[in-house]
């Protein structure tokens, strides 16, 4: 059944850039950043999306994506799943034939997400300040098309992550468990050596967009 395109979402920005993270890193991508988030992670780089934004119909968003002329679309936030109509947008994008990814905090229920979407699910480490928000029920829903990401602020986060993944092995139902340094906080050489020592359980991810543009909005 076709998605109801007259439904609305509160949107902070829509822009085309390079995907800086995950499996489609380096590919031109349209980013749809939804407004609002119930979490307040200490390292958040999109706090400007917590408030404001403008109401836009899904039809208008689809027009913007079509005009961009690229195959990949990333729905992000804030926390996109905090707006129920995000599920309708994801369905519409998949129906239109786009390669769709969803960046979500891991605190919201992912069970309603279209099965064609590649979910990039955060694990909130103690360094985020929001470790209690991890929704463990999501882990059993992960599939090989999905990815998991943990932002690392310290070696304490790394020790915690090992214990967490041992406790919840269904995390590895996703294709990859990424570890990503908190920008400017974590020594990259230490993180790289840790990933090597894990012999393939985890994969290192650097944020390409920040290496090019720093922490500017709209990239």
Q: How confident is the model at residue 186 (pLDDT cuts 50, 70, 90)?
A: confident
pLDDT confidence of residue 210: 61
Query: Average pLDDT of the chain?
Result: 94
171 in Cβ contact with 149 (< 8 Å): no
Residue with tokens 């005009």: 67
User: What would the two tokens of residue 168 be?
Assistant: 């919840």
Name the β-bridge partners of 57: 8
User: What would the two tokens of residue 143 be?
Assistant: 């599939």
pLDDT confidence of residue 183: 80
Give domain limits for the chain: 8-212
Q: What is the pTM of this model?
A: 0.92
187-219: pLDDT as tens digits: 999 999 999 999 999 999 987 756 665 666 555
Q: Give the CATH number of domain 8-212.
A: 3.20.20.70
DSSP 49: G
- Write the CB contacts of 179 (distance below 8 Å, at least 6 apart in sequence): 149, 150, 152, 158, 161, 191, 194, 195, 202, 203, 204, 205
- Mean pLDDT, residues 120-145 taken together: 97
Taking the C-alpha atoms of residue 85 and residue 9, their distance in angstroms, rounded to an integer, is 6
pLDDT confidence of residue 208: 74
**Higher confidence at residue 174 or residue 1?**
174
């Amino acid at each position: 059944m076709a998605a109801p395109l007259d439904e609305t979402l509160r949107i902070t920005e829509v822009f085309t850039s390079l995907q800086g993270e995950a499996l489609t890193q380096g590919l031109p991508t349209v980013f749809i950043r939804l407004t609002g988030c119930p979490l307040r992670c200490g390292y958040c780089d999109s706090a400007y999306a917590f408030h404001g934004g403008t109401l836009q119909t899904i039809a208008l968003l689809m027009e913007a994506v079509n005009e961009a002329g690229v195959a990949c679309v990333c729905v992000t936030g804030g926390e996109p799943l905090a707006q129920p109509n995000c599920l309708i947008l994801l369905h519409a994008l998949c129906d239109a034939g786009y390669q769709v990814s969803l960046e979500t905090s891991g605190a919201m229920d992912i069970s309603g997400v279209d099965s064609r979407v590649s979910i990039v699910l955060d694990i909130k480490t103690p360094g985020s300040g929001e470790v209690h928000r991890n929704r463990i029920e999501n882990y059993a829903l992960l599939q090989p098309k999905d990815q998991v990401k943990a932002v690392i602020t310290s070696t304490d986060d790394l020790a915690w992550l090992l214990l967490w993944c041992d406790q919840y092995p269904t995390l590895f139902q996703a294709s990859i468990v990424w570890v990503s340094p908190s920008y400017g906080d974590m020594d990259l050489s230490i993180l790289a050596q840790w990933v090597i020592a894990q012999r393939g359980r985890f994969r290192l991810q650097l944020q390409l967009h920040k290496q090019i543009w720093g922490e500017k909005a709209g990239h």
